[in-house]
Amino acid sequence: MVLASTVIFVSLILTACGPPQADTSTSSDSAEADGQAGKTEQVLRMPLMGEPPTLDPHNGSDMLSSAVINGIFEGLIRIENGAITPGMAESWEVSDDGLTYTFHIRDDAKWWDGKDLTADDFVYGLIRLIDPNPPAPNGDYAFQGFYMENGEAFYNQEITDSSKVGVKALDSKTLQIKLVDPVPYFVGLMDFCGFYPCREDFIDEYGIEYASSVDKIMGNGPFVLKTWNHEQSVILEKNPNYWNKDNVKLDRVEMIVIADQNTAINMFENGELDYANIPKDLIPQYKEAGKAEFFGDGVEFWMEFNLTNDKPVGKFLRNENFRHAMGYAIDRQAYVDAVYKDGSQPAMRYVAPVLSIGDMTWGEKYDYAFYPPNADVEKAKQLLDKALDEIGAAKEDIPVIEFITDDRPDRKLSAEAIQDMLDKTLGIKLDIKLVQTKQRYQLMKEMNYDIVWAGFGPDYDDPMTYLDRLMSDSGLNWTGFASEEYDNLIRFAKTSLDRDKRAEAMFKAERIMTETGPLVPVYFRNTAWTRNPKLKSLERSGMRADPDYTNAYFEE
């Protein structure tokens, strides 16, 4: 009933009103205080669909955290509209053997408080990324530091002298990174938050409390964290010490923590937000009104299985054919048509086909599908029978399986659709448990779950971003999956400069993951959104933090 009321409410607004003209000004008192009376401030008001679990760049492995971290920190480079551009480093060189990278940090690189940002700050951040001892990060992305000489050995405490790791400051503004093997996409990785700098004095003072509140964080990005009202809002203001401040048009970014898309779209229509993603039921109306925009963000959602589960259900979850039976019972096309209606695509493989490999997409190079777009009911039933025979159990022995998902209406709807399909096709019962996003991450890290509705968005535009996260030693592998063959293929692909052999290794690894691994892919997300027509240059993308508001502005 609430959803139907929302649809009618927004529909009336769409037909009765023109495009929303959001007021981007703030109180005149603020302008007068800056000596700019009469100047209209550029203020972006955006939705944040949940509380960010952390603002620590070395811990921010989720999309909510990244949306904030991307604005308050900056790495050696930036990726803008898919292109690598200078960030804190104004230039860099790569040795002929592809093993040594030398980054020249710009003279005007500063922290929020005006203190010079140095090469040592990057050294400290990279060592912190792979430091296994508290108050170091939680290690989710430590594996990204294994590209460096002795990075993995330091993380595994095989060596304890951090000076032996392949990162050092040649002088205050020159950073050198030495790799174990050549990595073709290494420069692009420098835009990833795990490679951001950190201020040692703040870590020393606050330890594990670092980045937990406004007074316990120090950044270097285009915006300063001014307010963080937990579960309510995050307010950023333009950083006067940012090297490229003259090209940052926004004076402030107001991020409002919102529970669901229907609330967000209503706030947008009421002029309280400058953009919002469009709930599935409203997409046709927004398209008809010419106010819907779309982008494929490379994010994939799947059912993720805990292969270490020691409860009675564990023997079922660990069986490959049992997982495949569930995968074949899902009608992916019907699911995206009914639940999303936004151009989202059925996921019939593990790696997002929109990612780049050389001068083509991954999907163009390898046209591969393991699961069909529509349910194969007969095959699903055959696989279930085979699984039960292997397990030595009857159908009635299958326990009710807990299915964890975020407590958001769209995630709940997704879980219910899958729950219905599995019950009707196979008689498998799922018990949906709704939790906050932060709690879901914690349950996954603790591997305290049966099945979880999870997803992943690419950190960079290469298939490796999907593949290395499920290596047996990855801090993001919360499934218990381990395959020596898979690990060896990924290690080869990480270091090979032979394009074709590298691609073949990654494709073989993808097939192993899709055909034997702990995930049942369901769909690749497409996002429908709408915006204030005056809002320009807000970059929506799945290849980095979404959105990138650094270059956004409002047309006068």
pLDDT of residue 139: 64
Domain boundaries, the chain: 1-48+223-274+532-556, 74-220, 296-527
The span from the CA of 63 to the CA of 69, in Å, is 10
The CATH fold of domain 296-527: Dipeptide-binding Protein; domain 3 (3.10.105)
pLDDT of residue 61: 65
Within 10 angstroms of residue 182's Cβ, the number of other Cβ atoms is: 16
Sign of dihedral through CA atoms 514, 515, 517, 522?
A: positive
525 has pLDDT over 90: no
Task: Give the pLDDT confidence of 42-74 residue by residue, as tens digits.
Answer: 999 999 988 998 899 988 767 888 899 999 999
The string of DSSP letters for 252-294 reads EEEEEE-S-HHHHHHHHHTTS-SEEEPPGGGHHHHHHTT--EE
Going by C-alpha positions, the residue among 229, 342, 272, 276 that lies closest to residue 49 is 276
Classified as helix, coil or strand, 210 is coil
pLDDT of residue 30: 40
Q: How confident is the model at residue 31 (pLDDT cuts 50, 70, 90)?
A: very low
Per the DSSP assignment, residues forming a β-bridge with 179 are: 148
Amino acid at 229: N
- Percentage of the chain beyond pLDDT 70 is 91
The span from the CA of 503 to the CA of 40, in Å, is 51
Per CATH, is 1-48+223-274+532-556 categorized as 3.40.190.10?
Answer: yes
pLDDT of residue 296: 78
141 has pLDDT over 90: no
The span from the CA of 169 to the CA of 526, in Å, is 42
Tokens of 212: 């937990």
pLDDT of residue 340: 77
Going by C-alpha positions, the residue among 355, 347, 343 that lies closest to residue 372 is 347
Q: Under a CB-based contact definition with an 8 Å cutoff, are residues 119 and 173 in contact?
A: yes
184 has pLDDT over 90: no
74-220 is classed in which CATH architecture?
A: Alpha-Beta Complex (3.90)
Q: Give the angle subtended at the CA of 24 by the CAs of 19 and 25, to the nearest 5°.
A: 140
Within 10 angstroms of residue 166's Cβ, the number of other Cβ atoms is: 20
The string of DSSP letters for 299-333 reads EEEEEEE-TT--STTHHHHT-HHHHHHHHHH--HH
The answer to which of 89-98, 484-493, 540-549 has the lowest mean pLDDT is 540-549
Within 10 angstroms of residue 274's Cβ, the number of other Cβ atoms is: 24
pLDDT of residue 39: 65
First to last CA, the chain: 40
- Percentage of the chain beyond pLDDT 90 is 71
DSSP 232: T
Task: Give the pLDDT confidence of 259-305 residue by residue, as tens digits.
Answer: 888 999 999 999 999 999 998 889 989 999 999 999 877 789 999 99
Task: Give the pLDDT confidence of 338-397 residue by residue, as tens digits.
Answer: 887 778 899 999 999 988 888 899 999 999 999 999 999 999 999 999 999 999 999 999
Within 10 angstroms of residue 288's Cβ, the number of other Cβ atoms is: 11
Going by C-alpha positions, the residue among 46, 154, 28, 71 that lies closest to residue 545 is 71
The span from the CA of 480 to the CA of 477, in Å, is 7
pLDDT of residue 94: 97
Going by C-alpha positions, the residue among 429, 313, 334 that lies closest to residue 376 is 334
pLDDT of residue 543: 67
Residue 499's Cβ-side half-sphere holds a number of Cα atoms within 13 Å equal to 8
The answer to which of 206-210, 398-402, 437-441, 456-460 has the lowest mean pLDDT is 456-460
pLDDT of residue 343: 80
The span from the CA of 249 to the CA of 344, in Å, is 33
Task: Give the pLDDT confidence of 411-446 residue by residue, as tens digits.
Answer: 898 999 999 999 999 999 999 999 988 899 899 999
Going by C-alpha positions, the residue among 212, 271, 332, 257 that lies closest to residue 43 is 271
Question: In whole numbers, what is the pLDDT of the chain averaged over residues?
Answer: 89
- Which residues, including other chains, have CB under 8 Å from residue 232's CB and lie 6 or more apart? 256, 257
Q: Give the angle subtended at the CA of 303 by the CAs of 297 and 307, to the nearest 5°.
A: 130
The span from the CA of 380 to the CA of 371, in Å, is 11
The span from the CA of 373 to the CA of 32, in Å, is 59
102 has pLDDT over 90: yes
Task: Give the pLDDT confidence of 76-87 residue by residue, as tens digits.
Answer: 999 888 789 999
Query: Between residues 208 and 312, which one has the greater pLDDT?
Result: 312
Instruction: Give all strands of the β-sheet with 43-48 in edge-to-edge order.
Output: 43-48, 252-257, 233-238, 223-229
Query: Between residues 33 and 530, which one has the greater pLDDT?
Result: 530
- Which residues, including other chains, have CB under 8 Å from residue 199's CB and lie 6 or more apart? 111, 115, 121, 124, 218
